[in-house]
Amino acid sequence: MKQEIDWCNLGFHYTEPEYIVRAAYHNGVWEEPYATKDKFLHLHVSATCLQYGQEAFEGLKAFRGVDGKIRLFRWLENAKRMQRSAEGLYMQPVPTELFGKAIRLALSKNLDLVPPYGTGATLYFRPLLIGTTPRLGVGPGRDFEFIVIPSPIGPYYPGKFHCTTFIVNRHVDRAAPLGTGQFKVGGNYAASFRATEAAHAQGYDCLFLDAKQHKFIDECSAANFIGIKGNEYLTPRSTAILPSITNDSLMKLAKERGMKVTRRHIRLEELEQMSEAAACGTACVISPIDKVLDPERNKSYHFGNEPGPVLTELYHALKDIQYGRAKDKHHWCEIVDLP
Ligand code: PLP
Ligand code: COI
């Protein structure tokens, strides 16, 4: 039965898709991905994903363009990042071709869930890789399952292009400098919940500093940080943060607009010299920051209550490419040919 979906009021929440896609890896071989209506796993209680956190995931979107065509945005980068995450947790990487096939199958089986153009909603795909070998002894498994879960979503932050306030936390580290922060693995998110939930309880989002010295900006909750200083686009260099595909795209767009793009350690106090700041990621694209609070140092950094001009331009430039309103010079979008 078709679901009635209020496309314009979807938040970043799960809507049950009709089909998900699955493919298992056993005895050194990946099976062909297949679509199924069954959303439950018959998983051994001692599977390595449950016992030792052998799990990685991804997040990417399909957009219904102004021309009615469906565009998948930079899925190859998500496939590569999931391969790095798999290697980081000693899992079997999902081959690029299988990843692409599974995404296209999930899309073609759930075409009704691609939101119409103009609603602000998109079809989000959550690829997931889990270790399924039963193990009690500490160590990696040999069997894996790759799953793609599609779900239509609205903007991550409600409101059109709205500002967020961050609070600095020096009591919980999200990821160690040489740990798993650079991989998209569930453990990083569970590790951040104490800090993010404490921030939410006060009405803020959490700004993570580098875990070694608590001097440099690492990440904005589950998003990369961007700061604008004069004509410079600044973003942190850190081995503990996720290499964001959105940030990479925005850096290229900033360079094209003649900006200097710098990735380096950014001291928290440098926020004072920035005219604009934002969090960026697939879910929100850009979420401008109005204020960063550092209660322990009795300091706050202000960027105005309205999104600044540089980040606003970059936000629209990226969205125009994703929705087919601007030329896709970088070949970031794959137009999916569907019957
Ligand atoms: N940092 C973290 C921890 C994330 O979970 C995400 C989301 O995927 C990002 C940054 C942004 O990455 P991307 O732009 O590839 O979505
Ligand atoms: C993003 O996609 O931007 C994220 O922050 C990922 C999160 C929803 C898990």
255 and 261 in contact (C-beta within 8 Å)? yes
Largest CA distance in the chain: 59
Extract the residue ranges of the chain whose pLDDT is less than 70. Answer: 1-2, 156-160, 339
171/204 same-domain check: yes
120/220 same-domain check: no
Instruction: Provide the residue count of the chain.
Output: 339
> What's the number of domains the chain is made of?
2
110/214 same-domain check: no
Give the end of a domain, one of 153, 181, 213: 153
**Mean model confidence pLDDT for the chain:** 95
168/315 same-domain check: yes
Classify residue 338: in a domain, yes or no: no
Output the domain CATH number for residue 34: 3.30.470.10
The ligand 1 atom at the shortest distance from the C-alpha of residue 221 is 3
Q: How far apart are CA 232 and CA 169, in angstroms?
A: 26
Candidates 58, 108, 104; CA nearest to 78 is 58
148/172 same-domain check: no
pLDDT of residue 11: 83
Residues identified as active-site: 184
Classify residue 283: in a domain, yes or no: yes
pLDDT of residue 220: 96
Classify residue 335: in a domain, yes or no: no
Q: Which domain holds residue 128?
A: 7-153
173/318 same-domain check: yes
pTM over 0.95: yes
141/106 same-domain check: yes
- Tell me, using a 6 A CB cutoff, whether residue 279 lines ligand 2: no
87/175 same-domain check: no
- Tell me, using a 6 A CB cutoff, whether residue 281 lines ligand 1: yes
45/97 same-domain check: yes
248/312 same-domain check: yes
- Compute CA distances 130 → 13, 93, 94, 155, 335, whole Å: 22, 11, 11, 27, 29
Output the domain CATH number for residue 247: 3.20.10.10
pLDDT of residue 158: 57
Cα distance from N-terminal residue to C-terminal residue, the chain = 21
What residues does 262 pair with on adjacent strands? 234
- Tell me, using a 6 A CB cutoff, whether residue 281 lines ligand 2: yes
Count CB atoms within 10 A of the CB of residue 47: 22
- Tell me, using a 6 A CB cutoff, whether residue 282 lines ligand 2: yes
Alpha helices (H) along 172-227:
186-201
* Cα(7) to centroid(ligand 1), Å: 24
% of the chain exceeding 70 in pLDDT: 97
84/178 same-domain check: no
The ligand 2 atom at the shortest distance from the C-alpha of residue 12 is 8
8 and 120 in contact (C-beta within 8 Å)? yes
25/141 same-domain check: yes
Give the end of a domain, one of 134, 153, 172: 153
